[in-house]
Amino acid sequence: MITHFNIHNVDLACESTDSQLLNLVIQKLDAYLVKRENPPQIRLLITKEKLKISNIKKNFSWIRSRPLWGDLDENQLRLTDGASTSITHYNDKVIEMFLDHETLTDRYFFMRTFLLIPILELLRCFGFIYVHGALLENNNNRSILILGEGGTGKSTLSASLMLKGWKIVADDNILLKSNDRVCIGYPFEQEISLSQEVLNQMQLEHRGHLEKEKWRIPMKMLPDQIKAPFCTPKEIYVLKKNGVEGFSLLEKSHVFHLLIQENPLLLVQPFLAQLHIQTLEQLLKRATAYNCCLSRETPLDLGKIYKSFMSLTSGSFER
């Protein structure tokens, strides 16, 4: 069985003999599901043949809800969580994936990490780079990219802006691509992550699934008036968790270093690294960067957060 997806004009074909596994992939990537059968540029093969875990070295690792580790060279990225394995072939644009039942018991680890990392890697071959943050625009030609570590308030600030008429392009996972010397941001995971407290103030139903005390809500469930398909970031705000409320100009080299740190695997493939760096250069050439720290009060008040942010940054867009 083969199912086709189109991720921002990159065609992906997923093939599996297991309909349940295929349905999990469809559920995760349903925003990109297409009926036409264009020749695929990327292929995801979910196989029954177990790939040898012992052949995968632990040259790098992550800790999600399950450990994940692997190795890579110029031709392949090999990943495992100790049960399932995947091999990404850069030259052939093919992902071979063996899924063990143990991995699938942690459904969201599979759908948000094990499935997505190989796809993100091959999207890099088509000029897309991954950024962890939020991307929004308003009707006055103002567009902002919000960066920062987990817990700094990216999603909460995004919610306060949406409540005042801003449109969200992406939350948590952003794809950037240079296009005619302009850097454009697109969503990857078509979801937004918000706490129940924030949802109540926005008067939105949760209707998604709960993960780490936040509801992950499909973008298709949001009102159309608070969504945008893409935008070109013109301001970058790096949020800080602790400190005195305020904001200040930030060296673009700091932002460049921050975004490179998020993508350490790119340094292994020189060609992909060049594309990645060119995209970041286009982003930083046309955007102004700032440090920003917003006070966090209890109970949470989205209106106050909006007023604080707009007051602090009122002159930034004209600079």
Among residues 272, 22, 310, 4, the alpha carbon closest in space to that of 123 is found at 272
Coil, strand or helix at 237: strand
pLDDT at res. 141: 84
- pLDDT value, residue 273: 86
Where in the chain do CATH 3.40.50.300 domains reside?
Answer: 129-318
Domain 129-318 adopts which CATH fold?
Answer: Rossmann fold (3.40.50)
Q: Give residue 123's pLDDT.
A: 95
Per residue in 51-97, pLDDT (tens digit) is 778 889 998 888 888 999 999 888 999 999 999 999 999 999 999 99
Residue-wise pLDDT for 25-60, tens only, equals 999 999 999 987 789 999 999 988 777 788 899 988
Q: What is the pLDDT of residue 318?
A: 47
For residue 268, pLDDT over 60 is answered with: yes
- The answer to whether residue 234 scores a pLDDT higher than 90 is yes
Which pLDDT does position 206 carry in this prediction?
65
Mean pLDDT lowest for which of 168-177, 212-221, 281-290? 212-221
Alpha carbons 185 and 130: distance in angstroms, whole number: 10
Name every residue whose Cβ is closer than 8 Å to that of residue 310 and which is 6 or more positions away in sequence. Answer: none
β-pairing, 42-47 vs 94-98, is parallel
Mean pLDDT lowest among 147-156, 245-254, 288-297, 308-317: 308-317
User: What average pLDDT does the segment 188-210 reach?
Assistant: 85
Report the pLDDT value the prediction gives residue 21, as an integer from 0 to 100.
92
Q: Residue 112 in 3-state DSSP?
A: helix
Is the model's pTM score more than 0.75? yes
- Check residue 110 and give its pLDDT: 93
Q: Which residue has the tokens 């690792």?
A: 61
Q: What is the pLDDT of residue 101?
A: 92
pLDDT band for position 98 (cuts 50, 70, 90): very high
Torsion, Cα 209 210 211 216, to 10 degrees, reads 50
Q: Mean per-residue pLDDT for 136-142?
A: 91
The confidence score (pLDDT) of residue 103 equals 94
Matching residue, tokens 């005042």:
164
Model pLDDT, residue 64? 81
pLDDT of residue 314 exceeding 80: no
**Is pLDDT of 210 > 70?**
yes
For residue 62, the one-letter residue type is W
Distance in angstroms (rounded) separating the CA atoms of residues 3 and 11: 11
Does residue 289 register a pLDDT over 90? yes
- DSSP helix/strand/coil, 183: strand
Percent of the chain whose pLDDT exceeds 90: 62
For range 161-190, the mean pLDDT: 92
Predicted confidence band at 319 (pLDDT cuts at 50, 70, 90)?
Answer: very low
When the pLDDT of each residue in the chain is averaged and rounded to a whole number, the result is 89
